[in-house]
Amino acid sequence: MSTNTTEALPATTLLRFATAGSVDDGKSTLVGRLLHDSKSVLADQLEAVERASASRGQDAPDLALLTDGLRAEREQGITIDVAYRYFATPRRRFILADTPGHVQYTRNMVTGASTAELTVVLVDARNGVVEQTRRHAAIAALLRVPHVVLAVNKMDLAGYGEKVFAAIAEEFTAYATELGVPEVTAIPISALAGDNVVEPSANMDWYGGPTVLEHLETVPVSHDLAHCHARLPVQYVIRPQTAEHPDYRGYAGQIAAGSFRVGEEVTVLPSGRTTRISGIDVLGDPVDVAWTTQSVTLLLQDDIDVSRGDLIVPTKDAPATTQDVEATVCHVADAPLTVGHRVLLKHGTRTVKAIVKDIPSRLTLNDLSLHPHPGQLAANDIGRVKIRTAEPLPVDSYADSRRTGSFILIDPSDGTTLTAGMVGESFASPDPVKDQPEEDGWDF
């Protein structure tokens, strides 16, 4: 490297986060404000927004227009899909999954939260914690998003009152903690006026915490790997078979969790064969140790049969394999998921045939009530399913590993992604959900 770019623009870390909230809460305005005040909106984008705002007779540029992409959405004034936004500060690069908060778009929120390290839940200070807020908290808890920010918006319309904010923060934190959310940071803001989004608010000197952007810049993005089970789903076998590399066999994949070290004893699942790591290659650099989420190539001591779909794990920390998967799922397709449905299940790099054996319950996110034996799950429904797979799978519990504890169900006939699944128990806390038979259902 002959450049000194790294001095001018230091390499920073990357934070993926998601927003949950509705247009009414001012979500688009918050996102627009983050982009605008962090100087991520460029002149031509701003001009386009100013033109569009003026053509609609608005007198100030509507920052929400920065983020409404598709024509259908502009016409209806709603957000119907996950949109990804990019911005950076000198301290960090951000990828924002911007999702609509309405009940019929639960699947989009689940999608956005699936890759997020942090979720911003937005509430209107005048309304406080409402059903939708509880739903957003539940999704963050279900998807095990490590950090949750409660942004209490429209503080300007609530007289910038500390008591208003404190009551909402307390109620939300109690609820989220009950669901097992490990960390809640509550911030009083006005997205419209700009209080505590990027700049500290002069109107709320009683608040001593960080602005939304400061918090986003400083929240930790990596985990203590000591407590993670190391996992490498094999994507591809690299065999050059050239004069220079006649015997090279490398197992390529992205480390899904934990770390691997040269010399370590590993087991290849599902075959169960054991060998040692003889080398690790991180995109051209030989290393002693590599960790999540690096894309690597592992070299193994013994010439054993390893192929795409296998999982390489430490011998001393291997998951059990099973053909019976119990999971919490979010159904993301328009047609319902029913008992007896024949599907494909993609877990890591492996896709197997499977059948939906049972749907024990459907979960209502608003009040966390359980409805037994719903018979099917419709679009945006969350529920428990039991799945039988055609081959044994080495699954982890989603609580232990978001990448090796998750799967998707696919329709074998047309390839539609049907369902997003999380293996194991729904919530981190013992049992926040309560059985509640549906009024028109059978009460066994």
Partner 1 sequence: MTTVAKAEEGTGSPYALSHLDALESEAVHIFREVAGEFENPVILFSGGKDSILMLHLALKAFAPAAVPFSLLHVDTGHNFPEVLQYRDRVVAAHGLRLHVASVQDYIDRGVLKERPDGTRNPLQTLPLTEKIQSERFDAVFGGGRRDEEKARAKERVFSLRDEFSQWDPRRQRPELWNLYNGRHAPGEHVRVFPLSNWTELDVWQYIAREGIELPEIYFAHEREVFRRSGMWLTAGEWGGAKDGERVEKRQVRYRTVGDMSCTGAVDSDATTLDAVIAEIAASRLTERGATRADDKLSEAAMEDRKREGYF
- Shortest approach of partner 1 to residue 337 CB, angstroms? 14
Q: What is the DSSP string of 299-367?
A: EESS-----TT-EEEEGGGPPPPEEEEEEEEEE-SSSPEETT-EEEEEETTEEEEEEEEEEEEEEETTT
| Pick 289 or 428: Cβ nearer partner 1 | 289
- Shortest approach of partner 1 to residue 280 CB, angstroms? 10
- Shortest approach of partner 1 to residue 442 CB, angstroms? 33
CA-CA distance, 96 to 202, in Å (whole number)? Answer: 27
| Pick 3 or 208: Cβ nearer partner 1 | 3
Nearest 5°: CA angle at 106, between 430 and 29? 115
CA distances 4 to 7, 22, 283, Å, are: 6, 44, 22
Choose among 353, 420, 334: nearest CA to 392: 353
| Pick 122 or 420: Cβ nearer partner 1 | 420
Parallel, antiparallel, or unpaired: how do β-strands 337-338 and 376-377 relate?
Answer: antiparallel
- Shortest approach of partner 1 to residue 232 CB, angstroms? 12
- Shortest approach of partner 1 to residue 356 CB, angstroms? 18
| Pick 73 or 425: Cβ nearer partner 1 | 73
Choose among 176, 184, 167: nearest CA to 125: 167
168 φ/ψ angles, rounded to the nearest 5 degrees: -65, -45
Q: Which two tokens stand for residue 227?
A: 């407590």
- Shortest approach of partner 1 to residue 43 CB, angstroms? 4
| Pick 379 or 428: Cβ nearer partner 1 | 379
| Pick 150 or 234: Cβ nearer partner 1 | 234
Choose among 135, 128, 85: nearest CA to 109: 135
